[in-house]
């Protein structure tokens, strides 16, 4: 569910334009000023009444058995983070609350799509040798990467003049132990990570260099596309296709296990999934490093 949040510090819980007292001057009768002049409250015409509904009211369009009720707030959750530690531009590892609006959402025709172009399926990568990871992306204004130390999640997602999300791409490589592994790897542990902060070739092709290569093993390569303030990109609908490519492992001696290849081909046919926020994750570029 998409919430519109406002991060401004409020003098009160009221959302509408109004007057407040400047008590610091002692003259309560004459020192009035409008909160809207300080840009510290949400404009009346920006309030989304959908946030007052659970989505399960009788007669609601799209209602289905098993759906959860949405949280509601008549003020668009403007004070949702009250009483919690505020993110405030930092990467807080113990958890935090971020009140910045989600931002501008692209049209369906501008949805992001990404594919890992290198390493190719079934690649056998020499161990401990530098190689490149290449990602081909459509509909991203790449090369926009703000300071992640001070401005993490501090601004909404935005679009360029063509309607494409302004942002960048991250690449991660994780050791998954074996091609047959079904155990999700520890998300805090990776063999390689890179936030690609350049625009690539200007045609959507981005690259990350894995200096010194990787030790022998079986790995997956994932990409995650983010807006310029590092939040995962938000798409215009729930049914957003996300490619999850299962890549075959090349055994020692470059002999391909045909049964595994056939199994992975079948997995690829079932690989499309739904993503509620449109996070672009091209996952399971599985390769052997020997």
Let me know whether 124 and 68 are in one domain: no
pLDDT recorded at residue 286: 58
Residue 228 within any structural domain of the chain: yes
The token pair that represents 146 in the structure block: 């703000």
pLDDT recorded at residue 238: 79
Residue 249 within any structural domain of the chain: yes
| The total number of structural domains that make up the chain | 2
How would residue 120 be classed by pLDDT, with cut points 50, 70 and 90? confident
- What is the C-alpha R_g of the chain? 24
Let me know whether 113 and 187 are in one domain: yes
Residue 123 within any structural domain of the chain: yes
Residue 88 within any structural domain of the chain: no
pTM of the model: 0.74
Let me know whether 123 and 257 are in one domain: yes
pLDDT recorded at residue 109: 97
Residue 98 within any structural domain of the chain: no
In the predicted structure, residue 187 carries a pLDDT above the cut 80: yes
Taking alpha carbons only, the member of 261, 110, 285 closest to residue 210 is 285
Let me know whether 120 and 220 are in one domain: yes
Q: Which of 80, 100, 134 is the last residue of a domain?
A: 80
> Structural domain of residue 16, as residue ranges?
1-80
Alpha-carbon span 17 to 139, nearest angstrom = 38
In the predicted structure, residue 283 carries a pLDDT above the cut 90: no
Let me know whether 132 and 256 are in one domain: yes
Alpha-carbon span 21 to 31, nearest angstrom = 6
Helix, strand and coil content of the chain, in percent to the nearest 5, comes to 10, 25, 65
Better-scored residue on pLDDT, 228 or 268: 228
Total Cβ atoms within 10 A of residue 206: 26
The token pair that represents 6 in the structure block: 């406002």
Alpha-carbon span 195 to 97, nearest angstrom = 23
């Amino acid at each position: 569910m998409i919430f519109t949040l406002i991060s401004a510090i409020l003098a009160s819980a009221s959302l509408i334009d109004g007057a407040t007292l400047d008590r610091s001057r002692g003259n309560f009768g004459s020192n009035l000023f409008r909160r809207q002049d300080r840009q510290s409250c949400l404009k009346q015409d920006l309030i989304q009444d959908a946030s007052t509904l659970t989505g399960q009211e009788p007669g609601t369009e799209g209602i289905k058995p098993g759906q959860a009720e949405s949280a509601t707030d008549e003020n668009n959750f403007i004070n949702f983070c009250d009483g919690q530690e505020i993110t405030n531009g930092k990467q807080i590892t113990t958890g935090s609350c971020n009140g910045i609006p989600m931002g501008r959402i692209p049209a369906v025709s501008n949805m992001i799509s990404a594919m890992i172009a290198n390493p190719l399926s079934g690649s056998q990568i020499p161990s401990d040798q530098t190689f490149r990871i290449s990602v081909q992306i459509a509909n991203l204004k790449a090369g926009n990467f703000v300071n992640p130390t001070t401005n993490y999640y501090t601004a909404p997602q935005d679009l360029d003049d063509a309607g494409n999300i302004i942002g960048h791409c991250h690449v991660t490589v994780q050791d998954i132990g074996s091609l047959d592994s079904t155990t999700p790897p520890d998300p805090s542990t990776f063999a390689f990570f890179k936030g690609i902060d350049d625009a690539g070739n200007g045609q959507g092709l981005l690259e990350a260099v894995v200096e010194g290569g990787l030790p022998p093993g079986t790995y997956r390569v994932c990409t995650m596309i983010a807006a310029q303030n590092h939040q995962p990109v938000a798409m215009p609908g729930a049914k957003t296709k996300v490619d999850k490519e299962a890549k075959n492992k090349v055994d020692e001696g470059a002999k391909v296990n045909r049964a595994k290849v056939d199994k992975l081909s079948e997995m690829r046919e079932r690989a499309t999934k739904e993503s509620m926020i449109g996070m672009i994750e091209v996952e399971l570029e599985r390769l052997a490093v020997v």
